[in-house]
Amino acid sequence: MLLELASPILFTIVAAYTPGPNNFIASHSGFNFGFRKSIPLILGVAFGWTALIILLELGLIVVFKNYSILQNIIQIAGTLFVIYLAYKISFSKSDDDKIVKAPISFFDTFIFQFLNPKGVIFATVIVATYIKPEDSFLNTAIITFILFIIALTSIVFWTLLGKYLRKFATSEKFIKFFNYSMSFLLIVCIILFYV
């Protein structure tokens, strides 16, 4: 059993910890709002991505295989949403300005998991490759729980990274530079996804 879990665990760690839309949004939130105010965002990502995995396990993957146009629609909708998030991040004010009082909500990040091109592709690959219909419920539940823990630790790591970087933010100019950088990296994620 442990040997069988090694491959999906390593694959998921690489997918979860490498730069991507969720991670840049989490860093932005940690930087601008701190860890505590980012908890809804963290939980939205972890539970949303796990919900996507569960839906794929329950048969959504068959729909994706039979109707590949749905993946294209999700990619386009996800791309537009990431561009919108990049815009919001780029023009957000620091917490000191009292204009933006809260980071992206639980609901927004939960729903985003179903539109995030990187997340949907990785979730589809994980379910198609590592979870077999003949697997026992317990085996599938264990893999799903491990995927949840990896997603949770990854998004916590990126949020804390943003919070840590805040210690170096000594001026409004640095804060704007950080926000612009996060926006730019979100756009780069989308460009690299289509290349």
Q: How many domains does the chain have?
A: 1
For every residue of 86-138, DSSP letters joined together read HHHHHTPPPGGGTS--S-S-HHHHHHHTTT-HHHHHHHHHHHHHH--TTS-HH
Supply the pLDDT for residue 93: 58
Evaluate if residue 192 carries a pLDDT over 50: yes
The pLDDT-based confidence of 147 (bands split at 50, 70, 90) is very high
Q: How many CA atoms lie within 13 A of 179 on its CB side?
A: 20
Supply the pLDDT for residue 98: 45
Residue type, 14: V
Sequence-ordered strand ranges (E) for the chain: none
Residue 85 structure tokens: 């998030």
26-68 pLDDT per residue, tens: 999 999 899 999 999 999 999 999 999 999 888 877 777 777 7
86-117 pLDDT per residue, tens: 887 777 655 454 445 677 899 999 999 998 88
Residues near 21 by Cβ (< 8 Å), separated by ≥ 6?
82, 85, 112, 116, 118, 119, 186, 189, 190
Supply the pLDDT for residue 151: 95
Closest CA to 133 of 62, 71, 81: 62
E strand or H helix at 171? none
Domain that holds residue 95: 2-194
Q: What value does the mean pLDDT of the chain take?
A: 84
Closest CA to 24 of 193, 180, 191: 180
Evaluate if residue 122 carries a pLDDT over 90: no
Separation in Å, CA 85 to CA 19, 49, 113, 168, 176: 16, 18, 13, 24, 15
Q: Which residue has the higher pLDDT, 101 or 155?
A: 155
